[in-house]
Amino acid sequence: MKKDFLSLSDWSLADLEGIFALTRELKTKQQQRIPHRLLEGKTLAMIFEKSSTRTRVSFEAGMFQLGGHALFLHSGNTQMGRGEPIRDSAKVMARYCDGVMIRTFAHSIVEEFAAHSSVPIINGLTDLNHPCQLMADLFTVSEHRPNYRQLVYCWIGDGNNMANSWINAASVFGFELRIATPPGYGPDPGIVDQALKAGARLILTNDPREAAAGADILNTDVWASMGQEEEQQIRAKAFADFQINSELLSSANQDALVMHCLPAHRDEEITNEVMEGPQSIIFDEAENRLHVQKAIMATLMAD
Protein backbone atom coordinates (compact mmCIF):
# COMPACT_ATOMS: atom_id res chain seq x y z
CA MET A 1 0.00 0.00 0.00
CA LYS A 2 1.22 3.51 -0.85
CA LYS A 3 2.81 5.42 2.05
CA ASP A 4 3.42 9.18 2.11
CA PHE A 5 5.86 11.22 4.19
CA LEU A 6 3.86 14.29 5.18
CA SER A 7 4.33 14.49 8.97
CA LEU A 8 6.31 12.55 11.57
CA SER A 9 3.11 12.00 13.54
CA ASP A 10 1.89 9.73 10.71
CA TRP A 11 4.72 7.28 11.37
CA SER A 12 5.54 4.90 14.21
CA LEU A 13 8.74 4.97 16.26
CA ALA A 14 9.78 1.62 14.78
CA ASP A 15 9.30 2.89 11.23
CA LEU A 16 11.27 6.09 11.82
CA GLU A 17 14.10 4.22 13.53
CA GLY A 18 14.07 1.89 10.52
CA ILE A 19 14.66 4.93 8.31
CA PHE A 20 17.58 5.90 10.58
CA ALA A 21 19.07 2.41 10.23
CA LEU A 22 18.85 2.64 6.45
CA THR A 23 20.33 6.15 6.60
CA ARG A 24 23.40 4.83 8.43
CA GLU A 25 23.80 2.08 5.85
CA LEU A 26 23.46 4.42 2.87
CA LYS A 27 25.73 7.07 4.39
CA THR A 28 28.46 4.48 4.96
CA LYS A 29 28.14 3.23 1.39
CA GLN A 30 28.30 6.77 0.03
CA GLN A 31 31.41 7.55 2.07
CA GLN A 32 33.05 4.32 0.86
CA ARG A 33 31.90 4.91 -2.74
CA ILE A 34 29.95 1.65 -2.74
CA PRO A 35 27.07 1.75 -5.28
CA HIS A 36 23.59 1.69 -3.74
CA ARG A 37 21.28 2.09 -6.71
CA LEU A 38 18.07 1.19 -4.90
CA LEU A 39 15.93 3.36 -7.20
CA GLU A 40 17.40 2.31 -10.55
CA GLY A 41 15.22 3.68 -13.32
CA LYS A 42 12.87 5.52 -10.93
CA THR A 43 11.86 9.18 -11.33
CA LEU A 44 11.08 11.76 -8.65
CA ALA A 45 9.15 14.93 -9.55
CA MET A 46 10.20 17.87 -7.36
CA ILE A 47 7.61 20.66 -7.22
CA PHE A 48 8.82 23.94 -5.74
CA GLU A 49 6.54 26.82 -4.79
CA LYS A 50 9.17 27.99 -2.28
CA SER A 51 12.75 28.46 -3.43
CA SER A 52 15.46 26.30 -1.91
CA THR A 53 19.14 25.42 -1.76
CA ARG A 54 19.48 22.38 0.49
CA THR A 55 16.14 20.77 -0.41
CA ARG A 56 16.72 20.85 -4.14
CA VAL A 57 20.39 19.83 -4.09
CA SER A 58 19.96 17.06 -1.52
CA PHE A 59 16.95 15.46 -3.21
CA GLU A 60 18.40 15.76 -6.70
CA ALA A 61 21.84 14.46 -5.71
CA GLY A 62 20.21 11.75 -3.63
CA MET A 63 18.10 10.44 -6.50
CA PHE A 64 21.19 10.37 -8.74
CA GLN A 65 23.15 8.39 -6.13
CA LEU A 66 20.25 5.96 -5.78
CA GLY A 67 20.28 5.36 -9.53
CA GLY A 68 17.18 7.38 -10.32
CA HIS A 69 16.39 10.76 -11.83
CA ALA A 70 14.88 13.92 -10.34
CA LEU A 71 12.85 16.48 -12.28
CA PHE A 72 12.86 20.07 -11.02
CA LEU A 73 9.50 21.78 -11.51
CA HIS A 74 8.81 25.33 -10.39
CA SER A 75 5.10 25.74 -9.85
CA GLY A 76 5.10 29.03 -11.74
CA ASN A 77 6.26 27.21 -14.85
CA THR A 78 3.67 24.43 -14.66
CA GLN A 79 -0.07 24.26 -15.13
CA MET A 80 -0.44 24.25 -11.33
CA GLY A 81 0.76 27.84 -11.43
CA ARG A 82 -1.99 28.64 -13.93
CA GLY A 83 -4.76 27.22 -11.79
CA GLU A 84 -4.94 23.53 -12.72
CA PRO A 85 -6.69 21.68 -9.88
CA ILE A 86 -4.24 19.97 -7.55
CA ARG A 87 -6.07 16.66 -7.91
CA ASP A 88 -5.58 16.74 -11.70
CA SER A 89 -1.86 17.46 -11.38
CA ALA A 90 -1.54 14.67 -8.80
CA LYS A 91 -3.23 12.10 -11.00
CA VAL A 92 -1.13 12.98 -14.04
CA MET A 93 2.21 13.15 -12.17
CA ALA A 94 1.56 9.68 -10.79
CA ARG A 95 1.38 8.33 -14.36
CA TYR A 96 4.77 9.82 -15.23
CA CYS A 97 6.79 9.47 -12.01
CA ASP A 98 7.41 7.07 -9.13
CA GLY A 99 7.22 9.72 -6.41
CA VAL A 100 6.65 13.43 -5.88
CA MET A 101 8.38 15.80 -3.46
CA ILE A 102 6.59 19.11 -2.83
CA ARG A 103 7.97 22.26 -1.16
CA THR A 104 5.14 24.71 -0.75
CA PHE A 105 3.26 27.07 1.58
CA ALA A 106 -0.08 25.58 2.67
CA HIS A 107 0.07 22.11 4.22
CA SER A 108 -3.33 21.39 2.64
CA ILE A 109 -1.62 21.30 -0.76
CA VAL A 110 0.55 18.27 0.08
CA GLU A 111 -2.40 16.60 1.79
CA GLU A 112 -4.65 17.06 -1.26
CA PHE A 113 -1.86 15.96 -3.59
CA ALA A 114 -1.34 12.81 -1.52
CA ALA A 115 -5.07 12.08 -1.44
CA HIS A 116 -5.24 11.97 -5.25
CA SER A 117 -1.85 10.46 -6.07
CA SER A 118 -1.18 6.78 -6.55
CA VAL A 119 2.56 7.29 -5.89
CA PRO A 120 4.25 8.39 -2.64
CA ILE A 121 4.28 12.09 -1.75
CA ILE A 122 7.10 13.61 0.32
CA ASN A 123 6.67 16.86 2.20
CA GLY A 124 9.79 18.89 1.36
CA LEU A 125 8.45 21.75 3.51
CA THR A 126 5.15 23.45 4.25
CA ASP A 127 4.31 26.34 6.54
CA LEU A 128 3.08 23.75 9.06
CA ASN A 129 5.73 21.00 8.96
CA HIS A 130 9.27 20.24 7.82
CA PRO A 131 9.62 16.50 8.56
CA CYS A 132 12.65 15.77 6.36
CA GLN A 133 14.71 18.43 8.11
CA LEU A 134 13.62 17.13 11.49
CA MET A 135 14.70 13.60 10.57
CA ALA A 136 18.11 14.93 9.52
CA ASP A 137 18.35 16.82 12.81
CA LEU A 138 17.54 13.83 14.99
CA PHE A 139 19.76 11.50 12.97
CA THR A 140 22.64 13.96 13.45
CA VAL A 141 22.09 14.02 17.20
CA SER A 142 22.06 10.21 17.23
CA GLU A 143 25.51 10.18 15.59
CA HIS A 144 26.91 12.36 18.38
CA ARG A 145 24.76 11.05 21.25
CA PRO A 146 23.58 7.43 20.86
CA ASN A 147 21.17 8.00 23.77
CA TYR A 148 19.41 10.69 21.73
CA ARG A 149 15.94 9.69 22.93
CA GLN A 150 16.91 10.37 26.56
CA LEU A 151 18.16 13.93 25.95
CA VAL A 152 16.48 17.25 26.73
CA TYR A 153 15.84 19.30 23.58
CA CYS A 154 15.32 23.04 23.54
CA TRP A 155 13.85 25.16 20.73
CA ILE A 156 14.56 28.89 20.96
CA GLY A 157 12.80 31.40 18.69
CA ASP A 158 9.82 31.26 16.36
CA GLY A 159 7.04 28.71 16.78
CA ASN A 160 7.27 27.90 13.07
CA ASN A 161 7.14 24.73 10.99
CA MET A 162 10.37 23.48 12.58
CA ALA A 163 9.01 23.99 16.10
CA ASN A 164 5.86 22.13 15.05
CA SER A 165 7.95 19.28 13.65
CA TRP A 166 9.98 19.05 16.88
CA ILE A 167 6.70 18.75 18.78
CA ASN A 168 5.60 15.92 16.48
CA ALA A 169 8.97 14.24 17.04
CA ALA A 170 8.67 14.55 20.81
CA SER A 171 5.37 12.67 20.60
CA VAL A 172 6.88 9.82 18.60
CA PHE A 173 10.38 9.53 20.12
CA GLY A 174 9.44 10.37 23.71
CA PHE A 175 12.14 12.92 24.59
CA GLU A 176 11.58 16.06 26.67
CA LEU A 177 11.12 19.17 24.54
CA ARG A 178 11.14 22.78 25.70
CA ILE A 179 9.87 25.49 23.35
CA ALA A 180 10.75 29.13 24.13
CA THR A 181 9.03 31.75 21.98
CA PRO A 182 8.03 35.40 22.44
CA PRO A 183 4.37 35.95 23.36
CA GLY A 184 2.20 35.64 20.26
CA TYR A 185 4.74 33.59 18.32
CA GLY A 186 4.06 30.14 19.72
CA PRO A 187 3.72 26.88 17.77
CA ASP A 188 0.51 25.66 16.15
CA PRO A 189 -2.11 25.11 18.91
CA GLY A 190 -3.57 22.07 17.18
CA ILE A 191 -0.18 20.34 17.04
CA VAL A 192 0.51 21.23 20.67
CA ASP A 193 -2.87 19.86 21.75
CA GLN A 194 -2.39 16.65 19.77
CA ALA A 195 1.06 16.13 21.30
CA LEU A 196 -0.11 16.70 24.86
CA LYS A 197 -3.00 14.28 24.38
CA ALA A 198 -0.46 11.73 23.13
CA GLY A 199 1.53 12.17 26.33
CA ALA A 200 4.41 14.25 24.94
CA ARG A 201 6.78 15.75 27.50
CA LEU A 202 6.39 19.31 26.28
CA ILE A 203 7.15 22.58 28.07
CA LEU A 204 6.11 25.92 26.53
CA THR A 205 7.63 29.13 27.89
CA ASN A 206 8.40 32.73 26.96
CA ASP A 207 11.74 32.61 28.80
CA PRO A 208 14.67 31.29 26.71
CA ARG A 209 16.89 30.94 29.80
CA GLU A 210 14.34 28.75 31.53
CA ALA A 211 14.14 26.55 28.45
CA ALA A 212 17.91 26.29 27.99
CA ALA A 213 18.78 25.53 31.61
CA GLY A 214 20.37 22.09 31.72
CA ALA A 215 19.34 21.25 28.14
CA ASP A 216 21.37 18.89 25.95
CA ILE A 217 20.40 20.33 22.55
CA LEU A 218 19.83 24.00 21.65
CA ASN A 219 18.11 24.61 18.34
CA THR A 220 16.86 27.63 16.43
CA ASP A 221 15.84 29.03 13.04
CA VAL A 222 15.55 32.43 11.39
CA TRP A 223 13.13 34.84 13.06
CA ALA A 224 11.35 35.68 9.81
CA SER A 225 10.78 32.70 7.52
CA MET A 226 10.17 32.80 3.79
CA GLY A 227 7.05 34.85 3.11
CA GLN A 228 7.45 36.86 6.34
CA GLU A 229 10.14 39.28 5.13
CA GLU A 230 7.85 42.31 5.56
CA GLU A 231 7.66 41.49 9.28
CA GLN A 232 11.46 41.46 9.66
CA GLN A 233 11.80 44.64 11.74
CA ILE A 234 8.83 43.83 13.97
CA ARG A 235 10.11 40.33 14.57
CA ALA A 236 13.69 41.49 15.21
CA LYS A 237 12.40 43.58 18.11
CA ALA A 238 10.14 40.82 19.48
CA PHE A 239 12.90 38.19 19.30
CA ALA A 240 15.81 40.32 20.57
CA ASP A 241 16.21 38.22 23.75
CA PHE A 242 15.93 34.89 21.91
CA GLN A 243 19.40 34.72 20.37
CA ILE A 244 21.52 31.61 20.89
CA ASN A 245 24.79 33.09 22.10
CA SER A 246 27.59 32.07 24.44
CA GLU A 247 25.70 33.37 27.48
CA LEU A 248 22.59 31.30 26.73
CA LEU A 249 24.73 28.28 25.81
CA SER A 250 26.48 28.51 29.20
CA SER A 251 23.16 27.79 30.94
CA ALA A 252 22.76 24.49 29.04
CA ASN A 253 24.65 21.30 29.87
CA GLN A 254 28.40 21.62 29.53
CA ASP A 255 28.49 19.28 26.52
CA ALA A 256 25.30 20.63 24.90
CA LEU A 257 25.09 20.63 21.11
CA VAL A 258 23.85 23.51 18.95
CA MET A 259 21.74 23.14 15.80
CA HIS A 260 20.25 25.36 13.09
CA CYS A 261 18.40 24.13 9.99
CA LEU A 262 19.89 26.90 7.76
CA PRO A 263 19.98 29.33 6.11
CA ALA A 264 21.10 31.37 9.11
CA HIS A 265 21.21 35.10 9.73
CA ARG A 266 24.50 35.10 11.59
CA ASP A 267 24.60 37.32 14.67
CA GLU A 268 20.83 37.58 14.62
CA GLU A 269 19.13 34.38 15.87
CA ILE A 270 22.55 32.79 16.49
CA THR A 271 25.94 34.36 16.95
CA ASN A 272 28.78 33.64 14.58
CA GLU A 273 30.86 32.57 17.59
CA VAL A 274 28.43 29.81 18.56
CA MET A 275 27.71 28.75 15.00
CA GLU A 276 31.42 28.19 14.32
CA GLY A 277 32.17 26.92 17.82
CA PRO A 278 33.08 23.39 18.95
CA GLN A 279 29.55 22.60 20.15
CA SER A 280 27.95 23.32 16.78
CA ILE A 281 26.83 20.37 14.67
CA ILE A 282 25.07 22.58 12.14
CA PHE A 283 26.97 21.47 9.06
CA ASP A 284 26.76 17.79 9.99
CA GLU A 285 23.03 18.43 10.20
CA ALA A 286 23.01 20.02 6.74
CA GLU A 287 24.92 17.10 5.19
CA ASN A 288 22.54 14.58 6.69
CA ARG A 289 19.62 16.01 4.74
CA LEU A 290 21.11 14.08 1.81
CA HIS A 291 21.49 10.76 3.60
CA VAL A 292 18.17 10.82 5.46
CA GLN A 293 16.18 11.81 2.38
CA LYS A 294 17.79 9.00 0.40
CA ALA A 295 16.56 6.60 3.07
CA ILE A 296 13.08 8.15 2.99
CA MET A 297 12.89 7.90 -0.81
CA ALA A 298 14.18 4.31 -0.79
CA THR A 299 11.68 3.36 1.92
CA LEU A 300 8.78 4.82 -0.04
CA MET A 301 9.77 4.12 -3.64
CA ALA A 302 11.94 0.98 -3.81
CA ASP A 303 10.39 -2.20 -5.20
Query: Which of 221, 235, 243, 260 is flagged as catalytic?
Result: 221
Query: Which of 97, 103, 107, 243 is flagged as catalytic?
Result: 103
Residue 257 is labelled as binding a ligand: no
33 is catalytic: no
Query: Which of 178, 235, 289, 291 is flagged as catalytic?
Result: 289
Rounded to whole angstroms, the Cα distance separating 114 from 72 reads: 19
24 is catalytic: no
97 is catalytic: no
Query: Which of 65, 133, 243, 293 is flagged as catalytic?
Result: 133
Rounded to whole angstroms, the Cα distance separating 271 from 96 reads: 46
Residue 266 is labelled as binding a ligand: no
Long-range contacts of 201-207 (CB under 8 A, 24+ apart): 201/170, 201/174, 201/175, 201/176, 201/177, 202/167, 202/170, 202/177, 202/178, 203/176, 203/177, 203/178, 203/179, 204/179, 205/178, 205/179, 205/180, 206/180, 206/181, 206/182, 207/180
Residue 132 is labelled as binding a ligand: yes
Q: Is 260 exposed, middle or buried (0-12, 13-18, 19+ CB in 10 A)?
A: buried
Residue 97 is labelled as binding a ligand: no
Query: Which of 154, 261, 291, 293 is flagged as catalytic?
Result: 261
Residue 290 is labelled as binding a ligand: no
DSSP 38: T
Residue 117 is labelled as binding a ligand: no
Query: Which of 65, 127, 130, 235 is flagged as catalytic?
Result: 130
261 is catalytic: yes
Residues contributing to the annotated binding site for carbamoyl phosphate: 52-55, 79, 103, 130-133, 261-262, 289
* Residue set of the binding site for L-ornithine: 161, 221, 225-226
Active site residues: 103, 130, 133, 221, 261, 289
What residue numbers does the annotated binding site cover?
52-55, 79, 103, 130-133, 161, 221, 225-226, 261-262, 289
